[in-house]
Amino acid sequence: KAGVTQTPRYLIKTRGQQVTLSCSPISGHRSVSWYQQTPGQGLQFLFEYFSETQRNKGNFPGRFSGRQFSNSRSEMNVSTLELGDSALYLCASSLLENEQYFGPGTRLTVT
């Protein structure tokens, strides 16, 4: 079974731009969660989607949004990028509330 894939793996953007990251879950997994990891704050929960519905949301500003498609693939979008958004963005898929399988992450650098 193929693992969780994330694209792109690396991204450099300028302040004020927007970015869209993509996550393809393991086949059969309908739950996708997104996380942000920074050296200062560690891992933080962004959102969780299940069957195209946002099931839970972390404490991030409205510039961070996401969605899930009918094939369970998910995207997250960050608008009006700030320097502090530079981070590793990880997605994980699972059967609902079970063990999470993480993707390799997208490393975003905002300059």
Partner 1 sequence: KNEVEQSPQNLTAQEGEFITINCSYSVGISALHWLQQHPGGGIVSLFMLSSGKKKHGRLIATINIQEKHSSLHITASHPRDSAVYICAGRSYNTDKLIFGTGTRLQVFP
Determine if 107 is a binding residue for partner 1 (CB under 8 A): yes
CB 74 within 8 A of CB 49: yes
Site residues for partner 1, 5-44, by CB under 8 A, read 33, 35, 37, 42-44
Q: Under a CB-based contact definition with an 8 Å cutoff, are residues 8 and 106 in contact?
A: yes
Stretch that binds partner 1, among 13-21, 51-59, 63-71, 72-80 (CB under 8 A): 51-59
- Residue pair 68/52 in contact (Cβ under 8 Å)? The answer is yes
Q: Least separation, in Å, of the C-beta of 16 and partner 1?
A: 26
Reduced to 3 states (helix: H, G, I; strand: E, B; else coil), residue 93 is strand
CB 76 within 8 A of CB 34: yes
Site for partner 1 in 81-100 (CB under 8 A): 88, 90, 92, 97-100
Q: Is 53 in the site for partner 1 (CB under 8 A)?
A: no
* 79 membership: H or E segment, kind and range: none
**Which residues here bind partner 1, judged by CB under 8 A?**
33, 35, 37, 42-45, 48, 55-56, 58, 88, 90, 92, 97-102, 104-105, 107
